[in-house]
Structure 1
Amino acid sequence: MNRTRRAALSGLAAVGAAVAGCLGGRATSGADRDGESAGASSDGASGGDGSPPPTVETEYHLAYEPASLLSESLDGGVGKDGIPSVGDPQFRPIADADLAADEPVFGVVRDGEARAYPRRILSHHEIVNDEIAGEPIAVTYCPLTGTAQGFRRGATTFGVSGRLVNSNLIMYDRATDSWWPQMLATAIDGPLAGATLDEFRVVWTTASEWAARRPDSLVMTEATGHVRRYDSDPYGSYAPVNGYYARNGTLFPPLASTEDGHPKSVVVGARTADGAVAFDKATLLDERVLTGTVGGDGAAVVAVAEPALSTGHVYRNPDGAAVATDGDGYRVGGEGGLAAADLPLDRVLAFDAMWFAWAGFYPDTAFVGDHTWAGYGR
C-alpha cells in the first residue's frame, strides 16, 4: 500500500463507515465489471430495468478521454448499491416539515412543481429516484465533491456503483449498466460510454430560503425505507462547518492539483461543449455580477447572484451586453428589473462544486473571483 492510500485510509476512519465504501483498488479495464451483478437494488429496481436514460446530442467539454477516467476510478469495496439509493421517496408540505432554518436542502422545480431534498438525508443515499409532474427524474448528491445535480432518467433508475473518480460519485443506470460520473454527466464505461445525460438544475439553498421562495413546495421526509441516523452526517457538518467539509485535505488525490485557493471552497461551475468556467461563489454573492470567458475561443459569459437563494446563474453573453445590478434585480442593456434567473441571455446550466473537484475534472477551466474561503459561501 502506498503512502497516499494509507493517508486515505486514515482519513476514512475519521469520517465513518459511509466513506469506507469508497475505498479500493484501481480498475484498468471494463473486465473488472464481469463478476459484478446489480441484482435486486435497495430501491426495488433490478438490473436491466427499463430502457436507457435520455441523452442529449450536445456534449459537455471533457478534459480527459472516457477510457482515461475509467482507469482512474476507484473500487468502493462495498459493491453496487452498498450505498442505497431511494426509489420511493415520501413528502410532506414544507410548512409542516421540522427543518432548521439554516438546514441545507436541494431545491428542484419541474413543470411548476417544487420539491426540496434535505442534504442530511441524501448524504446517506446519494441518489433519489423520483417522479415530479409525471416526469421520472433522479436527484443526486456527492458529499465528497459537494455537488448536487438532477437528471432525467426515463424508464430506468440510477444506483450508486460503489466507485469514485476524482472523489466524485459514479452512478450507474439499471438499463444498460453504464457508468456515469455525476459531475461530468457523461458515461465513461458501458454501452453508453461517451453519451451525455439530460441534466436539469438543482439549487443548493437553505430550508428557510426555499420555503420563502416556494411556500408550495413539498419536502422529502425520512421515510426512505431504510434505517439511518439522519440527524447525523457521516462526513461532518455544514452548520457549523467541520469534519471532511472543513479540512484542507482530500481523501483521494484529485485528477489535477492546484495551489490556488482552499480545495473545499465553493465555485459555481458551468461547462459548454467548448470549455469550463468556475466563479468563486462567495465573490459572486458579494459582487453580484462577474464576467469571464470559456473555451479556447474566449466566448464571453456572465454570472449573476441570486442572494435570496444563496445561488448564482451563468449565461452566455456573445455580444458583450452590459449586465449590471438594478436594485434587487438586474439590467441587461436598456432592460431593467430582471430576475437573476430570467436574463434575456442564453443560460448555461451551473452547479456548486468544491474547487478541488472542479479543477480536477477541468484543469483547463477559466476561473473568476478571489478564491474565497468563507464556510463554502453557503
Structure 2
Amino acid sequence: ESGEAKAYPLRILNWHEIVNDVVGSRPVAVSYCPLTASAVVFDRRVQGATTTLGVSGLLYESNVLMYDRQTESLWSQLAGEAVTGERTGTALTVVPSELTTWQRWRKAHPDTAVLSPETGYTRNYLRNPYASYEDSGGVMFPPSRRDSRLEAKQLVLGVSAGRTHKAYPLSEIVLAGGKISDRLGGVAIEIEGDRRTARLRVASGSEGANEVVATRAYWFAWAVFHPDTALWRFRMPKGEGPSPAAKDIEVVEVHDYWSSITGPLVLEPEADPFSRGGLYVVSGTIKNNSQRPVHHVRLRFDLLDAEGHSVYREEGFNRAAEAMIELERPLPPAPGEIEAIVPIPPGGTDTYRMIFIGEEIPRFDHPRVTVLSATP
C-alpha cells in the first residue's frame, strides 16, 4: 500500500523463521515454517498496540508456534490466531505477500530492498538445513488427521475467502498451462504458478476481495488447519483420438510398479507409495496385427482417478522406436548419434515403457495405455 517493496530470502528464513520489520508505515512479521513450507506475513498491530513476534520452539500440527514478547501468548502461524495465553482467540491480520523467485521479484520490483545475510548470527545461509526433509516424502511430526486426497507433502496454494477455503496443487496448475481462473466465495481469482511458487491475483473491485488471502504450504498442513477445504483438480482434455492405422496395433500387456533409481521400491502391504517418492513405471507389450511392418508406434499414457478421469498424461513410443523422441526435438541430433529404429514386423511384438517422476504427478488410481498412431 506504500509502494515500498521488500524481499526476504528463504535461505535466511529457513534458519530464523520470523523477521519483525516495517514496510512503509506498517509493522509486519514475516514468518516461514520449514516443516510445513508455509510463508505468511502478519500485521503486528494487535488490539491497538504493536507487538513483536518470536519463535517459541514449539509446534502445533507440525507448524511453528510463535509467541508475542508482550504477553508471551502462543500464536499458530497457519491458524493465524493465538492458541494459548492472554490473547487466546485473537486473530492476526494477514498481509498480502508473494512467494516467488528472486529473479521474478527483482524484475517486477527493480528498486526492492532485500534482507541482508549480515544478521549478526553465525549461520551458513548457503546451506539449507531442511534439504533432506524437503526431498523426502515423509512428515517429521505427523498431524492429528490425514487427508488422503493428495500426498502429504504435495505443495498447494491454499486460498481463503472469508470462511471458504480451497487448495490448488502447484503441479496441476503447471498442467493447466501455469495459469488458471476460478471463483471462491463469490470472488473472481487468478493464479499463476510453477512447481515451487504461485501467486494470487484478485479481480479489482470484487466484493469481498479484501478478505481473500493465499498461503503456499504442504497439503498435509493446509488440510489439517482447514478440514473443510475444497480441492481444485485439473482435468486433462480428451485430446486427439487414435489414427485409423492404430487399430492394427494391440496392447497385449500392461504392467505398473513403483521403483527407485536403483531398483524396485519395496513397500509394506499398507504403505502409501505416494508418500515415498520414487518413480512410477508403466510397461508392457504391443503387437502388430497388420500385414506390413510398422516403423514406430506412438502411445499415450494416462493416469486415471477412481472415476476414470485422466489427471496426468504423457506420450511416448515403443521401445524399438524411442529414438523418435530425439528426432522430434527442436534441434534434431546429427546422423549416427542415435540408435537405428527397428520396425515391428507383421505379427511381431515390441515392448514399451513410460517412467513418471513420483513427486511431479498427482494422486491417481490406475494407468491406461492407448495407441495413438502407427506409422509404416
Q: Report the TM-score, using the length of structure 1 for normalisation.
A: 0.56
Aligned-residue offset at 1:272: 4.2
Aligned twin of 2:116: 221
* C-alpha distance after superposition, 1:224-250 (max 9, x if no partner): 1111111111110xxxxxx21121110
Aligned-residue offset at 1:301: 5.1
Aligned twin of 1:75: none
Aligned-residue offset at 1:158: 0.4
8 Å contact kept, 1:284–1:303: no
Alpha carbons of structure 1 residues 193 and 222: separation in structure 2 relative to 1, 3 Å = same
Structure 2 unaligned blocks of 5 or more: 235-310, 313-358, 363-376
Aligned twin of 1:311: 198
Alpha carbons of structure 1 residues 369 and 343: separation in structure 2 relative to 1, 3 Å = farther
Alpha carbons of structure 1 residues 374 and 300: separation in structure 2 relative to 1, 3 Å = farther
Aligned twin of 2:22: 131
Q: For residue 70 of structure 2, what is the amino acid of its counterpart?
A: A
Alpha carbons of structure 1 residues 191 and 375: separation in structure 2 relative to 1, 3 Å = farther
Determine the C-alpha separation between the residues in 1 that align with 2:213 and 2:146.
25
Q: Report the TM-score, using the length of structure 2 for normalisation.
A: 0.57
1:195 aligns with 2:90: yes
* C-alpha distance after superposition, 1:350-378 (max 9, x if no partner): 111110101111222111125884399xx
Aligned twin of 1:181: 76
8 Å contact kept, 1:178–1:192: yes
Aligned twin of 1:254: 143
Count how many residue pairs are aligned between Structure 1 and Structure 2.
230
Q: For residue 209 of structure 1, what is the amino acid of its counterpart?
A: R
Aligned-residue offset at 1:286: 4.3
Aligned-residue offset at 1:341: 4.8
Q: For residue 122 of structure 1, what is the amino acid of its counterpart?
A: L
Aligned-residue offset at 1:160: 0.5
More displaced stretch, 126-135 vs 300-309:
300-309
Q: For residue 15 of structure 2, what is the amino acid of its counterpart?
A: H
Aligned twin of 1:92: none
Which structure carries more relative contact order (alpha carbon 8 Å, separation 6+)?
Answer: 1
Task: Please list, as runs of the form range in 1=range in 2, the aligned pairs for 1:93-104 lying within 5 A after superposition.
Answer: none
Aligned twin of 1:270: 159
Determine the C-alpha separation between the residues in 1 that align with 2:12 and 2:142.
27
Task: Please list, as runs of the form range in 1=range in 2, the aligned pairs for 1:232-251 lying within 5 A after superposition.
Answer: 232-236=127-131, 243-251=132-140
Alpha carbons of structure 1 residues 175 and 375: separation in structure 2 relative to 1, 3 Å = farther
Aligned-residue offset at 1:274: 2.7
Determine the C-alpha separation between the residues in 2 that align with 1:343 and 1:267.
24
Which structure carries more strand by proportion? 2
Identical pairs, percent: 36
8 Å contact kept, 2:6–2:112: yes
Match of 1:156 among 26, 43, 51: 51
Determine the C-alpha separation between the residues in 1 that align with 2:197 and 2:61.
26
Q: For residue 214 of structure 1, what is the amino acid of its counterpart?
A: H
Determine the C-alpha separation between the residues in 2 that align with 1:199 and 1:307.
21
2:83 is paired with a residue whose SS is coil
* C-alpha distance after superposition, 1:260-284 (max 9, x if no partner): 2221111111234434211122323
1:225 is paired with a residue whose SS is coil
2:223 is paired with a residue whose SS is helix
The alignment's C-alpha RMSD in Å is: 2.4
Aligned twin of 1:349: 213
Larger Rg: 2
* C-alpha distance after superposition, 1:54-73 (max 9, x if no partner): xxxxxxxxxxxxxxxxxxxx
Alpha carbons of structure 1 residues 257 and 118: separation in structure 2 relative to 1, 3 Å = same
Determine the C-alpha separation between the residues in 1 that align with 2:141 and 2:197.
29
2:42 is paired with a residue whose SS is strand
Aligned-residue offset at 1:302: 4.6
* C-alpha distance after superposition, 1:140-162 (max 9, x if no partner): 10000011111111332101011
Alpha carbons of structure 1 residues 128 and 197: separation in structure 2 relative to 1, 3 Å = same
Aligned twin of 1:289: 180
8 Å contact kept, 2:188–2:203: no
1:229 is paired with a residue whose SS is coil
Task: Please list, as runs of the form range in 1=range in 2, the aligned pairs for 1:114-129 lying within 5 A after superposition.
Answer: 114-129=5-20
Q: For residue 25 of structure 2, what is the amino acid of its counterpart?
A: G
Aligned twin of 2:61: 166
8 Å contact kept, 2:28–2:41: yes
1:267 is paired with a residue whose SS is strand
8 Å contact kept, 1:284–1:312: no
Determine the C-alpha separation between the residues in 1 that align with 2:360 and 2:18.
28
